[in-house]
Amino acid sequence: MARPIYKTESGATVYGILAEFSNPYTLSEAAKSVRDAGFRKWDTHSPFPIHEMEESMGIVGKAIRPMMFVIGCGALLGVCGGYLMQWWINYDYAIIVQGKPTYQAWEPFVPITFELGVLFTAFSSILGMLAFNGLPRHHHPLFSSDRFLRSSDDAFFLSVEARDEKFDPSATRRLLEEAGATHIELIEE
């Protein structure tokens, strides 16, 4: 069944619905009711981390697993690449310092192996984080709402996308109103 496409009165496509809450506690409670209603494509926005939010949104540990895989791969790449690089350099063009063995000794290779492991772990964390967040992107429909700008200052928001199968402009609005939203608006694509 094709997903219905909602239009506003001006004829623009609806991106989703944005609800404002007065404090983190009502936002957390609202997130629970949205979670229990079975929505999948939705998010909460707050100026600061709210610790219980993962649980309220029902996403505990879900988002982190692909990240762990990416970071693990980055770490292994850094460690193996770092060691092999040094081994190859010392094998191919050995420089004897203080009469110490060159590529037969493992000791001198440890610091660079370790540091490259850390460096690549950091790289893969940053790049993986950007990739999974769909960043960089220049614009997001939510930014068309002036009220939403306050989500980085002193307001708490919950947005439900129209792409969600359960989305219905009036029913979802009612759900959010019952959850205690102080202000609700439709966001255009």
Partner 1 sequence: MSQAAMGSGQSLSQVVSNDARLTRENITLTDQAPGRLVGIFLAIGAAGILVTLIGAQVLDVKHALAAYHVAFMGVLSICLGSLFWVMLFHILGATWSVTIRRQFENVMRAMWLCLILFLPIVILEVASQGILFSWMDKAYTQGDPVYASKSGYLNVPFFLIRAAIYFGLWLLLVRKFWSWQQEQDSTADRWLTNKARYTSAWGLVIFGLTLTFSAFDWLMSLDYHFFSTMWGVYIFAGAAYSSMAVNILIMQWLRHTGRLEGVVTTEHRHDQAKLLFTFTVFWAYIGFSQYFLIWYSNIPEETSYMLARKMFYPELTFVLVVGHFCLPFVLLLPRPAKRSSIWITIMAIGAVIIHFVDMYWIIQPMADIREMGEGVDPIGLKGAWVVAAAVVGVFGLFGAVVIRNIYSTPLVPLNDPRLGACLRHKNYV
Smallest separation, CB 44 to partner 1 (Å): 14
- Contact flag: residue 36 with partner 1 (CB under 8 A): no
Stretch that binds partner 1, among 16-24, 49-57, 84-92, 132-140 (CB under 8 A): 49-57
**Residue 181 near residue 20, CB atoms below 8 Å:** yes
Q: Using CB under 8 A, which of 54, 168, 185, 188 touches partner 1?
A: 54
3-state secondary structure of 123: helix
Distances (CA, A) of 143 to 30, 123, 159: 22, 29, 12
Does residue 178 touch partner 1 according to CB under 8 A?
no
What are the residues whose beta carbons fall under 8 Å from the beta carbon of 54, sequence distance 6 or more? 60, 61
Taking the C-alpha atoms of 129, 135, 140 and 143 in order, what is their torsion angle to the nearest 10 degrees? 70
Find the part of the chain contacting partner 1 (CB under 8 A) among 80-88, 103-111, 126-134, 137-145.
103-111
Segment lying near partner 1 (by CB under 8 A), choices 27-35, 46-54, 78-86, 116-124: 46-54
The answer to whether residue 115 forms part of the interface with partner 1 (CB under 8 A) is no
